[in-house]
Amino acid sequence: MSIERKGYHVGGEWCESKTDTYIPVLDPSTGDTIAEVPRCTSAEVEAAITSAQEAFESWSKVSLSKRVQYLFRWREVIHSYLDELTELCAREHGKNLNEARGDVLKALEPTELACALPLASQGTGAMQVTTGFDCSTYREPLGVVAGIVPFNFPAMIPWGWMVPLAVACGNTVVLKAATPTPLTAMRMLELFYDEAGFPAGVVNLVTCTHHEADLLLTDPRVKAVTFVGTTRVGREVYARAGEHGKRVQAQTEAKNHALVLADCDLDATAAAVVNSAFGCAGERCMALPAVCVEESIADQFVALVKEKAAALKLGRAYDPTTGLGPVVSAAHRDHVLSWIERGINEGATLVLDGRNPEVPAGCEGGFFVGATIFDHVTEDMAIGRDEIFGPVLAIKRVRDFDEGIRIMNANPFANGSSIFTQDGYFARRFVRETDGGMVGVNVGIPVPSAYYPFSGNKDSFFGDQHVLGQDGYRFYTRAKTVTTHWFDDIARRGQLDSWEGTVERI
């Protein structure tokens, strides 16, 4: 079987790379290679920046109304190709079809948010702020912006978090697609031009390593960088791009916790935890890999969670009956398995073992890890503290609300947190006291709609303005405040010729 060799995309067209290194894209369900993408050269990354800079000169002058019309068309294109994009996302990433469909659909909400640009981007103004003077503040595009994409959401992150608001605000984009999962982003780029009709160069795409991508952090033509990935790399991106005068929003790691109180709806809570912990095989920064549960119900809760997790059907990502697909690569599978071994060595109780799971015929080469549950995880265990990014759940038994919130807030990450309770007093205390930037009350994955910011805290985020919501508009624009005065007869006689000269008339 011939393997398709991809190129990179600049100026509205695909280009053949001059690299001598191509990176395989695998089907995690089988381990088969389904495509190859280039490790683009530094010159090719620079060409993508140049293309975006040239396109910015005209795109930034397009009216708000017309930019929004492009985005309305783009929204309909995503709907029209939803099934194709879902299949492609599942095949290259490993998440099941429902999860892959959700990944693609999550590119729609930010597009709809971007369609509200003429309203949401309005500045402020006042007449007669002092005698004869008016002031207005406008929001203007930055220029070229870069998006550094992770592997875990091939549609939502580049085409939801990075492109819609950026281009709506008048910027142009260079995407560095994730080399393990670039195909969905590439196909969406083709549709962006061929079906939605955007002008050439508005969005450009490369695949490369961090060595070539360093240009996105240092080239003076790039004005802002959106990054999603590990905390270690996010810190480096934040520091290096900031050193070169760029805005940065870096979404990084998480170890989200839930606090389960004794008065919760036990069955519904267990179902929510299983979905949150094992959905997308745990490969999402809003997964729920740790739960603090009150001791009085812990035995019942663990039994329920084990029963529901064990019932998840392992299989090909693109089999409609699959509940739990593979992780993205052999290296990541081995990484997750090493964490399971570490949890055992640390003394946690292995309640459900996901090592060496049974897989369907033809999937023997796939990268599968079964749902795994540890009980009696304590504060000194790394398995309950660090991000694993796999289908592994750590259960911590606590005496009460106060011990639970203390343990949760001691974690260096603060992306999201949830409480399961029917008690309004404790729910309100939790909302106020948790460090989590996105908070759920009886919600396992408290990801807000795109109209609100994705607001991680502590070591889960580096920057000032988060992605999406009003933060997103502000991140992709800069303020310009204009003071206006029209000279009248008094001014022409020299009695009012400067702002300072009006002080006595304020």
Dump pLDDT digits (tens) for 62-87.
999 999 999 999 999 999 999 999 99
Q: pLDDT tier at 505 (50, 70, 90 boundaries)? A: very low
* CATH T-level assignment (fold) for domain 5-252+460-481: Aldehyde Dehydrogenase; Chain A, domain 1 (3.40.605)
Angle, CA 390 vertex, CA 28 and CA 343 arms, to 5°:
130
Catalytic residue among 40, 115, 280, 285: 285
Residue 348: per-residue pLDDT: 98
Residue 498: per-residue pLDDT: 55
Model confidence over 20-63: pLDDT tens digits? 999 999 999 999 999 999 999 999 999 999 999 999 999 999 99
Beta-carbon contacts of 338 under 8 Å, excluding residues fewer than 6 positions away, are none
One fold for 5-252+460-481 and 257-441? no
Residue 120: per-residue pLDDT: 86
Q: What is the Cα Rg of the chain in Å?
A: 25
Q: 98-108 b/e with 16+ CB inside 10 Å = b?
A: ebbbbbbbbbb
The two three-digit tokens of residue 83, written as one number: 């099934």
Q: Is the pLDDT of residue 262 over 70?
A: yes
Strands (E), 74-118: none
Q: Is the pLDDT of residue 279 over 60?
A: yes
Tokens 């805290």 belong to 457
Domain range summary for the chain, segments of one domain joined by +: 5-252+460-481, 257-441
Residues making up the chain, counted from first to last: 506
Residue 152: per-residue pLDDT: 98
More confident residue, 500 or 332: 332
- Alpha helix positions (H), 459-502: 469-475, 489-492
Residue 218: per-residue pLDDT: 98
Q: Is the pLDDT of residue 278 over 50?
A: yes
CATH class for domain 257-441? alpha beta
Catalytic annotation on 169?
no
Q: Is the pLDDT of residue 375 over 70?
A: yes
